[in-house]
Amino acid sequence: MSTQSLWVEIDGQRMHCLKAGSGPPLLLVHGLLGGSFSWRFNVPVLSQRYTVYAVDALGAGLSDADPQTDCSMARQAVRLAEFVEKVGIRNEEFRVIASSWGGAVALLFAAQECRVRSLILCAPVNPWSQYGSRRVRFLSSATGRLLFHAAMPFSRPLYGVALRRMYGDPERIPEGTLEGYVPLTRRPGRPYNLLNTVRHWRRDLALLPDAIAKISAPTLLVWGTRDMAVDLGSCFSLEENLENGEHILLPGVGHLPFEEAPDEFNSLALEFFENDGLNKPCKEKPCKRRLRE
């Protein structure tokens, strides 16, 4: 199945995505410091049944963004709505798979977009997880930002350490994974984009409870039992607050189940989407084609 690169102008800047396959549309939204590269083991399988759009959010992946670009979760959700319109997904339902930070973006997006038929969220950032909160507070401070910029030129060895923490079993890290991610973190303006994201982090988390309460689409939460990035316990709190949520736990898997256990993940994704026909129609409220901040 051939894959093509698409470039869409959003906020006056070029946003990249990979498009593959045919059939109903399916959006893939990566996590922090990820990109369309993150879905390299999933696109070939999912595109056999769906038209897959693996997006690179502005300031991530191949979508370079000016240093002053608002890279908050809330703003990225607005951009995702605009992206959907610009690639021609206007009068049909679509499905979403999102991971970690991208999971939070997808929740904010789905709360205002009634055409979302169903969602699969891999360990989405959520208000009930406290993992990483100290790092967020530190990087939001003036001292944290200064040290972050100073350390960036010498941080290459830390990438491997960080990647290993994302896997339940580091021995399962596929060859070429580190080499694929490192260039994404070194693109022009990327440190500023990351710090901009972190600066809005707590504000964005405060928006999520109201957004989650508005989502009626079937939502599958996928968590690895060895996730060290987003608290596994928060899975159950999030599920309780979703109108139509369920979860699957993958034993021994870490924060990136679609990379670490791609065959299992692809199978469960296709099965879930195959059975989401019981999806309830949108709640009786105006269907908002655009998100408003």
- Dihedral sign, Cα of residue 227, residue 60, residue 130, residue 114: negative
Angstrom distance (rounded) from CA 64 to CA 117: 30
User: Mean pLDDT over residues 267-286, rounded?
Assistant: 68
Q: State the pairing for strand pair 116-122/51-56.
A: unpaired
The predicted-structure confidence for 226-252, as pLDDT tens digits, reads as follows 999 999 999 999 999 999 999 999 999
**Domains in the chain, please, with CATH?**
3-278 (3.40.50.1820)
Determine the pLDDT at residue 186.
86
The predicted-structure confidence for 132-171, as pLDDT tens digits, reads as follows 665 656 456 655 555 555 555 545 556 888 899 999 999 9
3-state secondary structure of 269: helix
Closest C-alpha to 266, from 39, 51, 93: 39
The predicted-structure confidence for 183-221, as pLDDT tens digits, reads as follows 998 898 998 999 999 999 999 999 999 999 999 999 999
Residue 288: is its pLDDT beyond 50?
A: no
pLDDT higher at 147 or 5: 5
pTM, whole model, 2 decimals?
0.90
Determine the pLDDT at residue 92.
87
Question: Residue 91 — pLDDT band, cuts 50, 70, 90?
Answer: confident
Determine the pLDDT at residue 151.
53
Determine the pLDDT at residue 277.
54
Determine the pLDDT at residue 1.
64
For the chain, what is the mean pLDDT?
88
Residue 285: is its pLDDT beyond 50?
A: no
Angstrom distance (rounded) from CA 11 to CA 79: 8
Say which residues have a Cβ less than 8 Å from residue 259's Cβ, sequence separation at least 6: 38, 41, 167, 174, 177
Angstrom distance (rounded) from CA 131 to CA 54: 27
- Dihedral sign, Cα of residue 116, residue 130, residue 72, residue 205: positive
Query: Do residues 55 and 30 make contact, with C-beta atoms less than 8 angstroms apart?
Result: yes
User: Mean pLDDT over residues 82-111, rounded?
Assistant: 95
pLDDT higher at 122 or 131: 122
Give start and end residues of each alpha helix (H) in 214-261: 233-241, 257-260
- Tell which phi-psi region holds residue 265, choosing left (phi > 0), alpha (psi between -120 and 50) or beta: alpha
The DSSP symbol for 34 reads -
3-state secondary structure of 116: strand
Question: Residue 286 — pLDDT band, cuts 50, 70, 90?
Answer: very low
Angstrom distance (rounded) from CA 108 to CA 37: 23
Percent of the chain scoring above 90 in pLDDT? 76
Angstrom distance (rounded) from CA 273 to CA 25: 12
